Amino acid sequence: MSRTGRSFMSTPGKETDHNYLRFLTARIEEWNLSYNHILRAEKFRCNLIVVSNKAVKGFLKEEIDPNTATGAEVVGHRKTCSGVHIIIHFPSSGGDLAIHSTELLHNYANCDTRVLEMGTFVKHWATARRTNDPSTRTLSSYGYILMILHFLLNVVDPPVLPNLQHTSIGLRELQWIEGCEVFYWRDVPARKKAAHQGKLTRNKQPVVDLLRGFFDYYSAGKFITGRRRFCYKTDVVSVRISGGQMAKNEKGWDVSEGGDHVNPARRRQRYYLAIEDPFRTKLNVAGGVNMRGLSVIKDEFARARNIILITDNEDIGDDLFRPKVSPQNEPNLQHELHDLGLANTR
């Protein structure tokens, strides 16, 4: 990889994150709280901790924000000292699905080292530019990971990854959990062997080129012949279906539920950005992103694309990761009223 490519991927040391994980685990044990699983998706610099005792909610009440939930009953985000988010998931009866989601992402990361590098890069970019916080109505780390996988599976030609939910290379085990089909290639030794034999991908693009394409694809730019771009108004990010081509109207995500159909502003609030969960196919992982949040996300993708296009490679890393200053003003009431469909339209 070029010197520029290496500068793209500069990240805090793993030991810092592991120390925090051990610290958090010790705190849970100190309070005599049981936990089912600790699954570390290290390839995405993100940890999923699944605990079974509701009392831990009180213990962590000052460290998490339950309002950031994006599909689970309660999901909290704890930012570690190294800038890595740890997701605290308190499962309901569907808790096993969260475990399989983490395992699926980990399996994809193990298919190709470029997944790790892109995931690390995008995570730190989104954090620096403040588009990675569901409590501010932007997108979770999980959402960004799915956007990366969708791009590597369905947009890049040839694909960087096989679709583990559809590949014909290995044997897959079908399970039904809470009415959801859990079906993916999870034989790690067989997958590693296939990767070593070059059976998983013919794509040889360097990570830097893939990142250029990734930011361009999600930049909401004008149509250019021969260049595919994601349409936020109509498209759905999907890693589940083969080919990844899915529209909001196919899932009924272009219409509201209940009585919101009489209020277009409220109806649209749920569907500004559509990202399908690989197993909970009725769940929009980006359901918490509002109009303002989507505008911020699209602006940052466009900013990154423009920096990559117009600056010398040696300066790309510094520009892309320039921390975005947090606004000091109070929340804009007019924006909130608009999201609720109550804004003055005069």
pLDDT digits (tens, 9 = 90+) for 45-103: 344 444 433 434 444 443 434 333 333 333 344 444 444 444 554 444 445 777 788 88
Rg of the chain taking only CA atoms, in angstroms? 20
* Segment 284-337, tens digit of pLDDT: 999 889 999 999 999 999 999 988 887 655 554 557 778 887 654 444 545 544
Angstrom CA distances, 55 to 51, 90, 92, stand at: 10, 10, 14
- Quick check: 124 pLDDT over 50? yes
pLDDT tens digits for range 214-224: 999 999 877 66
What is the structure's pLDDT at 261?
52
Residue with tokens 């699926």: 104
Average pLDDT over residues 236-250: 90
The confidence score (pLDDT) of residue 338 equals 53
Residue with the two structure tokens 């303002």: 292
Alpha carbons 131 and 301: distance in angstroms, whole number: 10
Measure Cα distances from 321 to 7, 23, 124, 194, 245 in Å: 11, 28, 7, 36, 31
Instruction: Write down the domain spans for the chain.
Output: 3-323+334-339
Residue-level pLDDT at 269: 46
Q: What is the mean pLDDT of residues 93-116?
A: 81
Report the Cα–Cα distance between both ends of the chain, in Å, rounded.
55
CATH of 3-323+334-339, one of 3.10.510.20, 1.10.1410.10, 3.40.50.1000, 1.10.10.10: 1.10.1410.10
Q: With 60 as the cut, is the pLDDT of residue 18 above it?
A: no
Tell me what percent of the residues of the chain surpass a pLDDT of 70: 56
**3 vs 273, which has greater pLDDT?**
273
* Band of pLDDT at residue 202, cut at 50, 70 and 90: very high
